[in-house]
Amino acid sequence: MATQPALFDAGTNARRWLDDYAGGPDDAMRAGDVAASLAMLEELAAVAGDDLGHARERVQRHAADIGTGFRIIGEDSERPWPVSPIPLLIEADEWARIERGVAQRADLFETILQDLYGAAQLVERGHLPATLVTGSPYFLRPLVGLPPPGGYHLRFVAVDLGRGPSGEWRVLGDQLRAPVGAGYALENRLAVSRTLGGLQGRLNVRRHAPFFAAFRDGLAAACRRSDPRIGLLTPGRYNPSYPEQAHLARYLGLLLVEGDDLAALEDRLYVRTIGGLKRVDALWRRLDPRLLDPLAFDSHSTIGVPGLIDAWAAGNVVLANAPGAGVLESAAFGAFLPQLATRLTGADLILPNIATWWCGQPCEAQHVAAELPSLLLSSAFGARTLGLPGEAPVAGADLSEAQRAALLEAMTARPQDYVGQEIVRLSTMPVVIAERMEPRPFTLRVFAARDRDGRWQVMPGGFARIGAHPDPRAAVMGEGSWSADVCVHGPDPVAPVSLLPAVDTLHVRRNPGTLPSRVADNFFWLGRYLERGEAMLAVIRVMLGNSIDADAGAALGTATVAKLVNELVGAGAAPAPPSLRRADLTQFARTAMEARADGWQSVAAINAHAQRIAGGSRDRLSADMIRLLDAPFPSHRGLLDRAGSLQRRYAAIAGLSAEHMGRTAAWRFHDLGRRIERAQAIARAARVFGAVGAGLDDLSTLLDLGDSQISYRQRYLTGIARVPVLDLVVLDPGNPRALAFQVEAIRDHLARLPVLEDDGMAEAQQIEATELYAMVAPEQAATLTGELLLAVDQRLGRLSDAVARRYFLQGAEPLRAGGLTLA
């Protein structure tokens, strides 16, 4: 008899897990608050029974539901997010010290940046060598002398911490450009909260929402306009952390924009929207600063915004963080920070750095050379050097004799390129491996953001990265293979800040309300491709024999089959079959369904277009929709089954967009794309299968392609005849598959989308739609001609072009001046 493990005894399981856990005395869980850990494990046991592996799967599934993913550079698809079911617990008192330490650091960095990009006194007075600054690829000289709009260089920073054997926290690195991970911290919290629903209340876990609200408010307060428009500037969907960026944009109510979406004119920044150019006041940028503006930095950047830096320099756009902040990230800088802290703030660093020796100074270089075997060697400024085997830090002890000699020689020529650092032993925390808790070394990334008063707020918790191997050095070197939620807990109850107290909920905000042209373009084409795939599947299914008409399908006459084949060949789905024999036809259908090479516009190719486009608008699609779109192309069972399963998927997607998407402009473009595509498919089908003299097979096929067999049979008991078929499939405005219905919907959408001028005059695409409607509405089935259907088809093409011209980016290929060959 099966037991009910979930009800068995959570306390017993939790106790047993803890007793069996192999973590040593310096392990974060062993050394921490045991009662809190037991409470957490009890919550876990309450949902997972005695099976920790089950708990892990469960939290992973939640992460997948939330839509968390990440991409390894060079890989085509996203990977599932590896989140551990066991959060890292940190007591409030211990956390308070981390909080103070991170805020102190962030203030110190701001002071140093103000100096380096201002008067440069620190260098002139000899507190910092100029080389330490110029060695960083993130020192952007063009920005010297330009004060950052809003007054600060830094608005959102992260600090990587390691926990030493005696529980002390030390700084491993600083993230000052565009720290990755805040969105993942948020997603980890959501996934773990869904699994351990009772934990938050039981341990008084502090929430993340107020931190994000403070950041957004701080950014808004820095803008010149009172109701600013703020964007999150992404490098695009192929960036490894694009899913995180999409999630953050959605969570914070920021406009997710790419460089192409933006234009800088007359020292102001704008986003290209369906309503024309709209001012942008601030950007949270996730783009490498050197790619931001081809006119200011790298003129080869094609993803930046020409003139952005001029708008910034004129004070018209706030950038978080200001470009150039990364100059303080280099490992070499850590060697100077302790002295700078005492000099500039009069206090020691609350969170010490790991000991660092920069070889650009003679004494330090000697020390590193002498102590090579006991140190970690790395590039001082993150660039590739001639003396180290790779880009990653390497332990001196791991170098061969020859490598060591080569390094010492290279260090003699260019000592400024190297730092030596002490090797830190990281303490462990539990992670679930092979259904047990196993200790693994971890690092903690802590985030801080400025609030509206310019003060630093630290996210309570953060993002724990857990090393893949028991070797503690691995985590220092950035190989995190698991992530965990970080819960700051304490005796004081946490005030609910959001409307849904059960989980760390979204801070409700209105969307900025402007639809970027690129997004409109994406939604329009997503609609068209999905509809096109569906129409093509219908043709394949009829051809293979799947009509509800028992006489159709396999028994279709050769003439009708030949027309179906023509449709697919004409659409570019597959090359024409050598004959219409069953075997050739099946092979032909398989190609039309699945061909992925040679440029055939097969269903699979169209599906891939749809996936690609959806990937670029992830922030605006629901997780359910993304899951359906991202699902692998059906590959099991027979061709007809596969076509059927894909058609059902398309129906589910259509259902989601009809029933679950808000009636926003984005939805209108999506539906407009579907309507135009469907209208063209019907106009073509009616011309081919509904011509004067069409036989029974043709007309039945037309009903199948128009998805109207059942409606027809309910309406006409007498059998299939041409005029009633044409009326139902083409002209009946009450039939949602009919041409007339599409034409009306198109006209309606275009009437409701924004126009550029409020002079009451119709725009070109609206005129096209009205004329289209006037062509179709008065028609009678008995007198409907092929010429008219052809004209409708062509007008639909013009309409689609007019929509594109009016609303979408018409980016001409940028040419580049320059290319001067110097003699």
Partner 1 sequence: MSDTLALPPLAADGGHTMRYDIVHVTRFDYGNAVKFARCNLRLRPIDWPGQRVESYALTVAPAGRVQPARAEAGLAHVARLVIEEPVRSLTIESRARVTIDRAVPVPQADDPSLAEVAALARASNDLSAAGPAAYLFPSPLIPLDPAIADYCRADLAPERNALEAGIALARRIQRDFVFDPAATLVDTPPHEAFRQRRGVCQDFAQVMITGLRAAGLPAAYASGYIRTLPPPGQERLVGADATHAWVLLWCGPARGWIGLDPTNGIWMASDHVVVAIGRDYAEIAPVDGVVLGSGAQAMEVSVDVAPLAD
CB contact at 8 A, 175 and 321: no
Closer residue to partner 1 (CB): 266 or 348: 266
Q: Is 414 in the site for partner 1 (CB under 8 A)?
A: yes
CB contact at 8 A, 323 and 136: no
Closer residue to partner 1 (CB): 470 or 811: 811
Q: Is 384 in the site for partner 1 (CB under 8 A)?
A: yes
How many other C-beta atoms lie within 10 A of the C-beta of residue 772?
25
Q: Is 385 in the site for partner 1 (CB under 8 A)?
A: yes
Smallest gap from residue 266 Cβ to partner 1 (A): 9
Q: Which of 42, 160, 281, 310 forms a contact with partner 1 (CB under 8 A)?
A: 310
Any bridge partners for residue 185, and if so which?
A: none
Provide the b/e sequence for 164-197 (b: ≥16 CB within 10 Å). Answer: ebeeebbbbbbbbbbbbbbbbbbbbbbbbbbbbe
Which range in 71-79, 88-96, 483-491, 805-813 contacts partner 1 by CB under 8 A? 805-813
For partner 1, the binding residues in 146-175 under the rule CB under 8 A are 146
For partner 1, the binding residues in 356-375 under the rule CB under 8 A are 360, 362
Q: Which of 134, 204, 546, 586 forms a contact with partner 1 (CB under 8 A)?
A: 134
Q: For residues 538 and 554, what is the distance between their CA atoms, to the nearest angstrom?
A: 15
How many other C-beta atoms lie within 10 A of the C-beta of residue 422?
15
Closer residue to partner 1 (CB): 269 or 574: 269
Smallest gap from residue 372 Cβ to partner 1 (A): 19
Q: Which of 306, 430, 467, 533 forms a contact with partner 1 (CB under 8 A)?
A: 306
Smallest gap from residue 741 Cβ to partner 1 (A): 39
Q: In what order do the strands lie in the sheet with 276-279?
A: 262-265, 268-273, 276-279
Which range in 214-222, 291-299, 590-598, 793-801 contacts partner 1 by CB under 8 A? 291-299
CB contact at 8 A, 24 and 429: no
Q: Is 309 in the site for partner 1 (CB under 8 A)?
A: yes
Smallest gap from residue 347 Cβ to partner 1 (A): 26
Q: Is 392 in the site for partner 1 (CB under 8 A)?
A: no
Q: Is 809 in the site for partner 1 (CB under 8 A)?
A: no
Q: Is 135 in the site for partner 1 (CB under 8 A)?
A: yes
Q: Is 413 in the site for partner 1 (CB under 8 A)?
A: yes
Q: For residues 559 and 537, what is the distance between their CA atoms, to the nearest angstrom?
A: 20
Q: Which of 25, 599, 760, 818 forms a contact with partner 1 (CB under 8 A)?
A: 818
For partner 1, the binding residues in 103-122 under the rule CB under 8 A are 116, 120
Q: Is 821 in the site for partner 1 (CB under 8 A)?
A: yes
Smallest gap from residue 337 Cβ to partner 1 (A): 18
**Cβ contacts of 477 within 8 Å, gap of 6 or more:** 392, 393
Residue 321: cis peptide before it, omega within 30 degrees of 0? yes
For partner 1, the binding residues in 424-483 under the rule CB under 8 A are none
Smallest gap from residue 444 Cβ to partner 1 (A): 32
Smallest gap from residue 129 Cβ to partner 1 (A): 6
Number of residues that bind partner 1 (CB under 8 A): 51
How many other C-beta atoms lie within 10 A of the C-beta of residue 508?
9
Q: Which of 101, 415, 441, 480 forms a contact with partner 1 (CB under 8 A)?
A: 415
Tell me whether residue 637 is exposed, middle or buried, using C-beta atoms within 10 angstroms of its C-beta: 0 to 12, 13 to 18, 19 or more: exposed
Which residue, chain included where needed, has tokens 């805040």? 182
For partner 1, the binding residues in 548-577 under the rule CB under 8 A are none
Closer residue to partner 1 (CB): 126 or 390: 126
Q: Which of 740, 673, 742, 685 is nearest to 571 (CA)?
A: 685
Where is 90: in which H helix or E strand?
Answer: strand 88-91
How does DSSP assign 229-262, residue by residue?
-EEEE---TTSTTHHHHHHHHHHHT-EEE-GGGE
Q: For residues 469 and 480, what is the distance between their CA atoms, to the nearest angstrom?
A: 9
Q: Is 815 in the site for partner 1 (CB under 8 A)?
A: yes
Q: Measured between alpha carbons, how far apart are the two ends of the chain, in Å?
A: 88
The footprint of partner 1 (CB under 8 A) covers 116, 120, 123-126, 129-131, 133-135, 141-143, 146, 294-296, 298-299, 306-307, 309-310, 313-314, 360, 362, 381, 383-386, 413-416, 811-823
